[in-house]
Amino acid sequence: MSKGHKGFPWNHVIGFFLSIALTIFAVLMVQYTDFSKSTVMFIIGTLAILQAAIQLFMFMHITEGKSGVINIINITYSVFLAVVIVVGSIWILTTGHAAH
Amino acid sequence: MSSQSTTPLEYQGQQNQMTILGFWIFLGAEIVLFSTLFASYFVLEHNTAGGPTGEELFMLKEVLIETFLLLTSSFTCGLAIHEMRNGNKRDTIVWLIVTLLLGLGFVYMEISEFIHYVHEGATIQTSGFLSGFFTLLGTHGLHVSLGIGWVTLLIIQMMKRGITPVTARKVFVASLYWHFLDVVWIFIFTFVYLKGMM
């Protein structure tokens, strides 16, 4: 992944059109298909993660600089914590463990 | 990764590198902050207490406009950094101003959306669902508003001092913040609005 500073910012333009396309695709999935709710959620959830990755790698240049590896580890760890917090909360509070 | 012939200005010097690394660590903390708000929202989502549900409330058109405003502002912010790395002060500032205008448009749309909901009788006190909703969306909107103030100050500083290692680093860090808010919005759009409208 070479990032020449000069010239046309292809990375950004491609990232931008991808994110617009993914957003429209997600809306179409919700409005115009009759898949089950969980199937649609799985697909648009995947699209959201893809879009986040586009932002991180194509716009924020997460791997750039001397601490690129540290950045990846740090963000991966934060995302892990976020998943534990969100999934854990839903799990605990919807399966009846808290109903005592 | 390390194929650049010259290091961008904002990475020059130990202090600048440490500041950028520190800001990434801050963003990690922000991810965890927003995850707690998302968790509260998901847990309270179905507790509408006789008030309106997301399906009745959410307006796809307005939300899509907000999404495109923020996506485009993230793109123009990236272009500002691109121009800054080319040493082009005028274009950097122009793209930053475009970013700000799009951000202002987003905040305007969001506030009028909230006012509309309150007129429909959906306030933060109506139900658990709406408490979670307004807290999550409000925190994001507050971040965007703070970002607008921050970038405004940086534009003034860059006009006065030009592109130096210090101003370049400041603008770069602000751009990371701005892109991050777009990432959070993508998840709000998908897991609050689209999920709520199904």
Question: Domains of chain B, with CATH numbers?
Answer: 9-43+55-197 (1.20.120.80)
Question: What is the pLDDT at residue A97?
Answer: 64
Where residue A6 falls among pLDDT bands split at 50, 70, 90? low
Coil, helix or strand for B4? coil
CB contact under 8 A, A16 and B35: no
Question: What is the pLDDT at residue A2?
Answer: 41
Which of residues A1 and A46 earns the better pLDDT score? Answer: A46
CB contact under 8 A, B194 and A75: no
Where residue A4 falls among pLDDT bands split at 50, 70, 90? low
Question: What is the pLDDT at residue A98?
Answer: 59
Q: What average pLDDT does the segment A1-9 reach? A: 61
Task: Return the number of CB contacts < 8 Å for A and B.
Answer: 146
CB contact under 8 A, B74 and A78: no
Question: What is the pLDDT at residue B2?
Answer: 41
> Do residues A63 and A72 make contact, with C-beta atoms less than 8 angstroms apart?
yes
Shortest alpha-carbon distance between residue B47 and chain A (Å) = 12
Q: Which residues contact A46 (CB under 8 A, 6 or more apart)?
A: none
* Chain A neighbors of B85, CB-CB under 8 A: 5
How many whole angstroms separate alpha carbon B59 and alpha carbon B51? 17
Which of residues B103 and A57 earns the better pLDDT score? Answer: B103
Shortest alpha-carbon distance between residue A100 and chain B (Å) = 17
Structure confidence by residue, pLDDT tens digits, B122-135? 999 999 999 999 99
Return the structure tokens found at B144: 């965007």
Where residue A63 falls among pLDDT bands split at 50, 70, 90? confident
Question: Between the CA of residue B141 and those of A22, B110, B137, B178, B188, what are the distances in Å?
Answer: 23, 8, 6, 12, 11
Nearest to B186 among A52, A65, A89 (CB): A52
Question: Between the CA of residue B140 and those of B29, B31, B57, B87, B133, what are the distances in Å?
Answer: 14, 12, 19, 32, 11
Q: What average pLDDT does the segment B40-61 reach? A: 92
Q: Which of A85, A87, A94 to mutate to test the interface with B (most CBs of B within 10 A)?
A: A85
CB contact under 8 A, B40 and A27: no
Nearest to A85 among B39, B67, B86 (CB): B39
* A82 and chain B in contact, CB less than 8 A: yes
Question: What is the pLDDT at residue A5?
Answer: 57
Shortest alpha-carbon distance between residue A62 and chain B (Å) = 9
CB contact under 8 A, A70 and B21: yes
Q: What average pLDDT does the segment B45-70 reach? A: 93
Q: What is the mean pLDDT of chain A?
A: 87
